[in-house]
Chain A
Amino acid sequence: MRILVFLMFIFSILCLHNFVIAVDSSSLLVKNGESHLDKWQVIEASQLSDKALELAKNNSDKGIASYLKSRVEFYKGNYTLAAKYGKEANTLLPNDKEISEFLDYISKVANTGEKFSEVRTTHFIIRYSHQRDSILPVYAEKALEKAYYEIGKDLGTYPGETVIVEVFPDPDSFAIASTLSEKEIATTGVVGVCKFNRIMVISPRLLPQGYLWLDALAHEYTHYLIFRKTENKAPVWLHEGIAKFQEKRWKEKKGTFINPFYETLIARALKENSLVPIEKMHPSFGKLSSAYEAQLAFAQVGTIVDFLVNKWGDNSLLDLLEYLRIKDNHEAAIRDVTGMNFAEFYNSWKKDLRSRNLKERIPRVKVSELRFEKDGVKSKEQSNDLKDLESIRTREFTRIGDMLKSRGRLKAAIYEYDQASKVDPISPIIVNRLASTHGALGEYSKAEESLSNSIEFYPEFVDTYINLGRIYLQKGNFKKAEEAYNTAISINPFDPEIHQSLITIYEKLGLPDLVESEKKVLNILAKEE
């Protein structure tokens, strides 16, 4: 009898012990899982969340385990599962504010997320929901896969998991998903974010002129790599600096970072001593006070990274990221790489800038806030873009030019555009009108010259590339035409003319696969017209 009682006692102790171990283990697993998730190590976090959920099946940790699972699924891009586990966690822990807020957030995001269609490439999953946006993966795939290799090589990292890229169909859904307000988006011109283990961009369809969306994808992908590489330890300014520095690597070899636009911004800031302080760049560029300030900040951080790479070599970037991961301190990392403390490094950068004798190359440079086409509908009206002309007189001349041009009075239209151009000589709006009118008169050289010059100042102005493409096509220079149209696609691929022209070019060049590909794109656009 005594033995029996003893055995029962031992059994009870063991049961209690096992229970305690289970509780300890599940909470520990959740903690570890969260730690991995914060570093975007989603596979590890996923494994831990599954184990934690298994262990916490019958204990009080089930709530937090479900919450971890919900987050993991969200990071993996599984909106339905994320919502399911989120609701479960919320039921178990109804008073947990964090869980409620998270559930609220994913419910909103899921409204768009559940409507996504996706295209899988070797290393990416590209999602979209608007039918017209279905043409984007065709071009995004090339750019992203190129970026995977080029930027991966520069930063020394190639992620094993497929990277989720989501294209949002409207500003509202993008604002919700990015957790930025619409005002912040419009003010600072944020068109993409890298957050929650994914790349999120707004469709170029939503901006009147589009934007360099392929560069933006590469930019955000760079952020992704930095996250992974530094385990989320890079400061915002460095994040943005490296991303800015790398964003064109998918299409260009390493070169000079600075362009006339950034040169103008920095030259003016140096002159007026109005550089954006590094501290002000935290926590996000999206929180800066104006589009101008955001662009200046980009110019600054881009040139800082450019300065670093130029002065301390390509490996300096790799080293910097590594030090950041290890030390979690950007000043220490800078010191380790450059041998200078941060202040010295910063001053050295400024000195370097001053030594370059930068100039305000674009007079009266203006950085506009983002203006979305409501519901993605672009106005067909030819004169609709005149609002972007600052001078009233320029607007007037241009408007008269437009009226004359639409009536076939091309020479007179050129006269009026010339008048406008005298007031605002580098405005891409006027340059493009002039060039297209010259082109219509067969004066290709004049048109080509003015357009080529304009690219330097306004590299994102899609009409410039389309007009150039037209001229090259007229001249029979198919390679150059193709190049111009492809650049146009990298800004705004929704203009059917681009694809129609590419079909012609590819037919001439004997590239049937590309002809078919472009025809498909054109069909989609035609259906949605």
Chain B
Amino acid sequence: MKTSSEEILEKFLRYLEKERKRVWISNGIVEFAFVSFASLGLASLLAHIYSNNIYFSVLKVFIILALCYGFVKFIVSPILKREEKAKLAIELEKISPGLGEDTLNALLLLSDLTTNDKELGVSKFLTEAHVNEVTSKLESIDLSPAIPSEKIKTYWRPLAAILALSTTMLILAPKGFQSLLFSANVLPPSEPNLLELADIEVEHTYPAYTKLSSQVVKGSTGDVKAIKGTHVTFKAIPIKKLVKGELVIENGLVTSVSSDGERINGEFTILSNGSFFIQDKNGEQRSRIFKITAENDKNPKVSIDSPSDKVIEIEDEENLDILYKADDDFGLKKLLLTFKTKRGESSRSIGQIKEEPKSLEGKFTWDFSGVESEPEEIIEAMIQAYDNDTVSGPKVGVSNVIKVKLNDPRKRHKNILVSVENLLDQFLDTLADEIENRPWDNKNINRTKVIQDGISSKIEKVIDTLNEILERIKDDDFSNYTYFLGLSNMKIGTEDLLNERHDLLTSLSLSDISRLTGLITKEINEFEDSILFLDSLLKGDKLRDSLLYGRETLSKYKELSELLKNLKQNENEETRKEVEKKIEEIRGLISQLTKTLGSINLDIPDGYLNPDAFNSLDLEGKLDEIMNLIKEGQIDKALEMLASLGENLQEMVASLESGFQSYSSASLSKEMTELNNIISNIEGLEEGEKSLKEKTEKLKSSLLKDPSSKGNLNKFVEREKKKIEMLKNLLMETRSKLFPNFEKNELVEGSILVDRILYEIDELKHWLESFEFNEALLQAKDVEEQTIGLRNLSDLRLGKIASASLEVENSAELAREIREDLEELSRQGGKKEIMRDLVQKQDSIKKDTSKLIGKISGLSEEKLILPPKIGEKLLESKGFMQGASNNLKDIEISKALSNQDEAIKALKQAREEAKGLLEKYQLSAKGMGIPAPFLMGREEFKEGIHGVDTSYVEIPSAEEFKEGREFKESLLKSLKEGSPEGFSELNKNYYERIIK
């Protein structure tokens, strides 16, 4: 255990050691500071000797070495230094002689005492006493001389001076040195010296397409930020003179910098992110690096607002309206509708965009002609908007996708034909049931009823199928209205029979068997006709299909020929592929054609192309050979073979066309002949009527210019008009006497009569001016009668009328005179003589018109149908002719002329109607649809101008080959109303004609 003396001794010694070390470190720091400041000041001073990076680097190394030395020497060393007891004893010895030795001995003794008691040669007590003594001495003396003096206290002034000096030197040192000194680099940088620039000014000239005006930024940092393609003009004042400068862009592009002695000017175009600087051409000075930030033009935004349905179904020849919006930051250049089919990607330009607007909104009508897609294929379409960026190229924005499905009208038509075939089967089944279950000897009425009810159900199903077909056929562009009419008629006929059947079967008894038998016979006949019509319809359709396929094949063949010629001249893989594609297309068409031809029952006279013979042409085999020749590079031989194939195709199409024409015209030939005759007859009537009208006009003119021997008509009219004026004046006077206060307009006795006479006088004057003497006479009689009535009133002295008795009397006399004059004129037989010839001619034309009308109605008995409008117009014409004839007889020339004119118009309309129909027949015979004249409605077709049914359904022109739904619906509606009396037979006959 230690004694207190021992502890005090150790404490004294530790204190001494600690204090001494502190002072050493403190002094080291001061020394290090001296060294550091001195070296830094020295180096800064020396830096002025050379302005060279290497030199600066050497100086920096010097400073670093000096600092390192000072740090190790003056700081690290005192910290690591450990003081020995002996040295401490020496320092104590210096303060008090002997003390150092005593202290050392005390420490030794204490050490021995602690480590080995048994072997200690000195007693413990003595040892402790010695220690106590030493301790006491140490306590009693001033130990501070043993601690070194602190230098900071001594040298703080020089230290401050050197600090100030070195700092000044450093501040004044060259910038290059400064930058190197404070940079992390030890070795000198490769860059030249910094070129100081002041008063930087940057001008941005934006690309033309942005339509933005230039912008100048004064006092700029020199960093630039603008859209790509912006032209930058960089201006600044260099601190040091820059004789030949250049502007260097990060990518190495260098442009010269001009200088006006004070201000430098450099230019460049922003193309991408990066940086630039200015330097002298020697590379000795360089400005700081300025940042370039290239902003990008944004992609346009485009969207399709409508349609938005998932898949839009497009019918044949239907267009799709697409509503779109597009905008861009600087301007839109182009919009494209792009669509993808299995055959590839295509696009359509969406109009012309002018003035590159920033936003656009519009409607594009997509016409699907030329868009080829596979059945049921969904086409994806979108709009691509291109902006006007001419720097980095147009940016493209893509809209949302719309999906479109093109409905194949041919397929739809085929489906209808499948239904028609089904209908044919149903009819055949029903017909067979009817035939096989005729109730000739069937006395079992219940069994008969059951059987017949079964047949009724089948007929109902037939009607259902017919309804379904009729509904679907409305939207079928390939079904012409002959189909529609035939089927509609069929439906009406079948429904009528079914109604009759229902009536009969509701209360069927044995006595009804003969009626039932009659009905069944009727049904058999009707169903036979229906079957034949359907059979003919299917056959005709297939024939037309074959013709279409044939024509398409021929057209593709021509394209193939051209491609092969191209291939011969310029053989390349692309053309070869096109050739192969075309051959495949032709192969497909031939296959379809073969299939269609094979399904036609060619029982029509004037033989058509035999499908088996067609097969024997081996068109597909020839295509294979052509393909092989092309593969072998024998293009000439392939062309030869193709020419032979072409001949076969042309022959085949000609045969099909001829077949189709004879098929189509077979039932129409008689109609065409008759129509030609009718047109010719109407033309004759027209000519006759025109000639008659001319004669009537001449007559009228001659009557006006060349008065008859018994007086000049003009003079007569003028004379009578004067009389009428006198009469009018008399009546006006009468009126004024009757109505002294005209304004009051009170009802006075006779006033109404006077007004009426005045009105009739005007009429009379009109008839006279029109040379309508008969009418004038009638009118004159009326006027006279009225004046007499007025006179009677006057005679009775009723009311105020008596005051005008004289005027009334004179009026009656004058009216009588006018009437007598007109009667005298009408008695002049000479004028009737003049008219006789014209009347005869008019009657003759009328008779011919009647004959023609009779002929047209007679044609219905021959099962030929002509549109009723021809008949109507002829009847109209006949009515007008009759009127003209009467007028002529009555010397009513203006009326006669008017009637003649109307008759001519009606004849012309009849002729045009007939010609229009003839054209349709002719077009039909050429395979452009079969026309169907028809009359609808239940109005009776009466003789005369009135009573003609006007619900005639216009037949579409040849151009309107594909009938619209509306037309078909109106037709069906009319058919539902039934046919007019007498025309139901015509309809039936027409129907039979179609079958044949």
A-side interface residues toward B, CB under 8 Å?
371, 373-375, 377-387, 392, 395-397, 399-400, 403-404, 407, 409, 411-412, 415-416
* B contact residues around A409 at 8 Å (CB): 428-429, 432, 436
Q: Does B571 contact A (CB under 8 A)?
A: no
A-facing residues in B423-437 (Cβ within 8 Å): 424-425, 428-429, 431-432, 435-436
* Minimal Cβ-Cβ distance residue in A for B424: A403
Q: Does B588 contact A (CB under 8 A)?
A: no
* B contact residues around A383 at 8 Å (CB): 601, 603
* B contact residues around A397 at 8 Å (CB): 528
The answer to whether B607 and A400 have CB atoms under 8 Å apart is no
* Minimal Cβ-Cβ distance residue in B for A407: B428
* B contact residues around A375 at 8 Å (CB): 613, 616
A404 in complex: contacting residue of B431, B601, B602, B616, CB < 8 Å: B431
Give 24 A-B contacts (CB < 8 Å), ordered by A residue: A373-B610, A374-B610, A374-B613, A377-B613, A377-B616, A379-B611, A381-B601, A381-B603, A383-B603, A385-B603, A387-B605, A387-B607, A399-B603, A403-B424, A404-B431, A407-B425, A407-B428, A407-B429, A409-B429, A411-B432, A411-B436, A412-B431, A415-B435, A416-B528
* A contact residues around B425 at 8 Å (CB): 407
A415 to B432, CA, bound (A): 9
The listed residue with most A CB atoms (<10 A of its CB), out of B432, B436, B601, is B432
A396 to B435, CA, bound (A): 16
Residue-wise, chain B 592-627 has the 8 Å CB interface mask toward A (1 for contact) of 000000000111110100111101100000000000
Q: Does B996 contact A (CB under 8 A)?
A: yes
Q: Does B531 contact A (CB under 8 A)?
A: yes
Closest Cβ–Cβ distance, residue B636 to chain A (whole Å): 25
> With A373-B612, A400-B431 given, can you name 11 additional A-B contacts, CB distance below 8 Å?
A371-B607, A375-B613, A377-B616, A387-B602, A387-B603, A397-B528, A400-B531, A403-B424, A409-B428, A411-B435, A411-B436
Q: Does B495 contact A (CB under 8 A)?
A: no
A382 to B428, CA, bound (A): 17
Q: Does B91 contact A (CB under 8 A)?
A: no
Closest Cβ–Cβ distance, residue B37 to chain A (whole Å): 122
Count: A-B pairs, CB below 8 Å: 77
Closest Cβ–Cβ distance, residue A434 to chain B (whole Å): 15
A343 to B613, CA, bound (A): 51
Q: Does B294 contact A (CB under 8 A)?
A: no
* B contact residues around A385 at 8 Å (CB): 603
Closest Cβ–Cβ distance, residue A126 to chain B (whole Å): 26
Closest Cβ–Cβ distance, residue A390 to chain B (whole Å): 9
A399 to B616, CA, bound (A): 27
A415 to B433, CA, bound (A): 12
A-facing residues in B961-996 (Cβ within 8 Å): 995-996
* B contact residues around A373 at 8 Å (CB): 610, 612-613
The listed residue with most B CB atoms (<10 A of its CB), out of A371, A379, A397, is A379
B601 in complex: contacting residue of A384, A392, A396, A400, CB < 8 Å: A384
Closest Cβ–Cβ distance, residue B608 to chain A (whole Å): 10
The answer to whether A378 and B432 have CB atoms under 8 Å apart is no
Interface size class of B (residues with CB under 8 A): 20 to 34
* A contact residues around B429 at 8 Å (CB): 407, 409
Closest Cβ–Cβ distance, residue A401 to chain B (whole Å): 10
* A contact residues around B431 at 8 Å (CB): 400, 404, 412
The answer to whether A403 and B603 have CB atoms under 8 Å apart is no
Q: Does B532 contact A (CB under 8 A)?
A: yes
* A contact residues around B250 at 8 Å (CB): none
The answer to whether B603 and A379 have CB atoms under 8 Å apart is no
The answer to whether B603 and A400 have CB atoms under 8 Å apart is no
The answer to whether B528 and A400 have CB atoms under 8 Å apart is yes
* B contact residues around A378 at 8 Å (CB): 612
A392 to B996, CA, bound (A): 8
The answer to whether B435 and A381 have CB atoms under 8 Å apart is no
The answer to whether B613 and A412 have CB atoms under 8 Å apart is no
* A contact residues around B613 at 8 Å (CB): 373-375, 377
The listed residue with most B CB atoms (<10 A of its CB), out of A373, A377, A380, is A377
Q: Does B535 contact A (CB under 8 A)?
A: yes
The answer to whether B432 and A412 have CB atoms under 8 Å apart is yes
A381 to B535, CA, bound (A): 15
A403 to B531, CA, bound (A): 9
A379 to B613, CA, bound (A): 8
The answer to whether B435 and A412 have CB atoms under 8 Å apart is yes
The 3 closest A-B pairs by CB, nearest first: A374-B613, A386-B603, A412-B432
The answer to whether B432 and A384 have CB atoms under 8 Å apart is no
* Minimal Cβ-Cβ distance residue in B for A408: B432
Closest Cβ–Cβ distance, residue A75 to chain B (whole Å): 34
Given the contacts A399-B532, A412-B431, A387 and B604 also touching, CB distance less than 8 Å: yes
A396 in complex: contacting residue of B436, B532, B602, CB < 8 Å: B532
* Minimal Cβ-Cβ distance residue in A for B425: A407
Closest Cβ–Cβ distance, residue B438 to chain A (whole Å): 9
A386 to B535, CA, bound (A): 14
* B contact residues around A387 at 8 Å (CB): 602-605, 607
Closest Cβ–Cβ distance, residue A400 to chain B (whole Å): 6
Given the contacts A374-B613, A403-B535, A384 and B428 also touching, CB distance less than 8 Å: no
B615 in complex: contacting residue of A377, A392, A407, CB < 8 Å: A377
A-facing residues in B391-427 (Cβ within 8 Å): 424-425
The answer to whether A379 and B435 have CB atoms under 8 Å apart is no
The answer to whether B432 and A396 have CB atoms under 8 Å apart is no
The answer to whether B528 and A396 have CB atoms under 8 Å apart is yes
* A contact residues around B605 at 8 Å (CB): 387
Closest Cβ–Cβ distance, residue A514 to chain B (whole Å): 32
The answer to whether B428 and A395 have CB atoms under 8 Å apart is no
* B contact residues around A380 at 8 Å (CB): 612
The answer to whether B428 and A403 have CB atoms under 8 Å apart is yes
A397 to B435, CA, bound (A): 13
* Minimal Cβ-Cβ distance residue in A for B602: A384
Given the contacts A409-B428, A409-B432, A379 and B610 also touching, CB distance less than 8 Å: yes
Closest Cβ–Cβ distance, residue A170 to chain B (whole Å): 11
* Minimal Cβ-Cβ distance residue in B for A415: B435
Closest Cβ–Cβ distance, residue A220 to chain B (whole Å): 28
Given the contacts A396-B528, A404-B431, A377 and B535 also touching, CB distance less than 8 Å: no
The answer to whether B532 and A377 have CB atoms under 8 Å apart is no
Closest Cβ–Cβ distance, residue A407 to chain B (whole Å): 6
The answer to whether A381 and B602 have CB atoms under 8 Å apart is yes
Closest Cβ–Cβ distance, residue A430 to chain B (whole Å): 13
Given the contacts A374-B616, A404-B428, A399 and B610 also touching, CB distance less than 8 Å: no
* Minimal Cβ-Cβ distance residue in A for B607: A387
A363 to B1, CA, bound (A): 167
* A contact residues around B436 at 8 Å (CB): 409, 411-412
Closest Cβ–Cβ distance, residue A404 to chain B (whole Å): 6
The answer to whether B602 and A400 have CB atoms under 8 Å apart is no
Closest Cβ–Cβ distance, residue B942 to chain A (whole Å): 35
* B contact residues around A384 at 8 Å (CB): 601-603
A378 to B436, CA, bound (A): 34
* B contact residues around A392 at 8 Å (CB): 996
Closest Cβ–Cβ distance, residue A419 to chain B (whole Å): 9
* A contact residues around B611 at 8 Å (CB): 379
A379 in complex: contacting residue of B528, B532, B612, CB < 8 Å: B612
* A contact residues around B995 at 8 Å (CB): 396
* Minimal Cβ-Cβ distance residue in A for B616: A375
* A contact residues around B612 at 8 Å (CB): 373-374, 377-380
A374 to B612, CA, bound (A): 8
A-facing residues in B508-565 (Cβ within 8 Å): 528, 531-532, 535
* Minimal Cβ-Cβ distance residue in A for B604: A387
A379 to B535, CA, bound (A): 19
* A contact residues around B435 at 8 Å (CB): 411-412, 415-416
A392 to B435, CA, bound (A): 22
Closest Cβ–Cβ distance, residue A98 to chain B (whole Å): 35
* Minimal Cβ-Cβ distance residue in B for A393: B996
B603 in complex: contacting residue of A395, A411, A412, A415, CB < 8 Å: A395
Given the contacts A407-B429, A412-B432, A400 and B532 also touching, CB distance less than 8 Å: yes
The answer to whether B603 and A404 have CB atoms under 8 Å apart is no
